[in-house]
Structure 1
């Protein structure tokens, strides 16, 4: 039986739109429109139990999932939503033990979810240039309990001359101009390694696709994912008036070898020059 104790994470759940994610502290209370919820009343109870507030309202004590953490994180930037994250994980085949490159940490929603999948043997290496956003992401990643499996770097990969990583299984890009880093990403990916880019506009998709072809990627696919919830109630089931519609476009591709003559496919504008690739004790040839 999984019981709640001091410092346990708990989702106080009243309904779909009224829920609070907290870390239990016996001296604290949560004041809400449905009454006061004392943390101490939750200690010793099993997850799934319920409490009664001073206004006679029931609150269920649920164990938070990664979805709950993502939906409750502090937003420094626009987050990647679970409806998109789920497809990214499935399409790219992200699994335990993999090494993941992420360019554009943002608020850390995608970072946290992917880290929860690749742990305990895998790792996420995430890069960003905004220190303020990085601090917010660090807090969110820590709150999700996956800090051990994430390494944050304050580095602009658009301008590096030496690639900091090699033999990555998957690359995730969340930048306004993702096509700029495609040559660098190629150097850091394994053969047949997957790439996913988050693109808010179709113009970005066009430029990105051109860069992917030029840099010898195949299985290129662009998609949009819209989630519509259903209000299922006896005798009056209908589509919900609320929901998450368009959030972003996703572009997927895999690193391949087109058999071109010996020239580095780098027509995409970038300041990066070809360099030897090393990562710890592993060395691989650029292709």
Structure 2
């Protein structure tokens, strides 16, 4: 099997089900929990695109695609009014935050991350940035806590391996459009695997579709008919909007009926309902699709 270090943290998995994708899917607000304790957050938390390591001294290391940094974190529960990337307003409830001061003293250009424990062994995070006197945010990311072995009892120098484990994520199996892949959290010295994380086949589908749009010549139409999808994530529309001169034709089957719709080059997306995912039936109505005989 092939492996490629560092790829996992650059991957954002697109996990979709038919039930959620028939219509536009909008993330609902989450009620804030009681303030979290430091014991609940200490350690390593990961998602498909980033890693946070919370330390006892009040610092947190943040690794993400493109860079890393270390900042202070603060065990303060509150809420923050933000403007989401799609332009809608929202209230983010959080149990702790890291980075610049969240409050009246924040200046334009300050950025932070706010976190909300969800009671399921995971927590949500939002990157927020102060712009023109207003906090702006991107869609929530879900983080999972990784429980690594205690180095005193599992990885001390008197152990059989004679070293402290040093783990890194690497892709053990690349995903394809029809099969999931897998990343492993592996010691770079002895190869011990501490955790495994699936990489959805949707990652390969998304990557191939994005490449097709970006590489298409001006005025051309990209056709997409992968039967695994019944909706488009917002970022596919973002790629189309950024490209600007390419149309996207979608052929799909729903409840035994074949449909087709085309998103023309240079389309105006302002009339679409703000959402993270757009169901094909919704887009068919928005862009005037047809039933295929």
Would you call these one fold, judging by a TM-score over 0.5? no
Q: Which has the higher contact order (CA 8 A, sep 6+)?
A: 2
Q: Which category describes the TM-score, using the shorter chain as reference length?
A: under 0.3
TM superposition score normalised by structure 2: 0.23
More strand by share: 2
Structure with the higher fraction of residues in helix conformation: 1
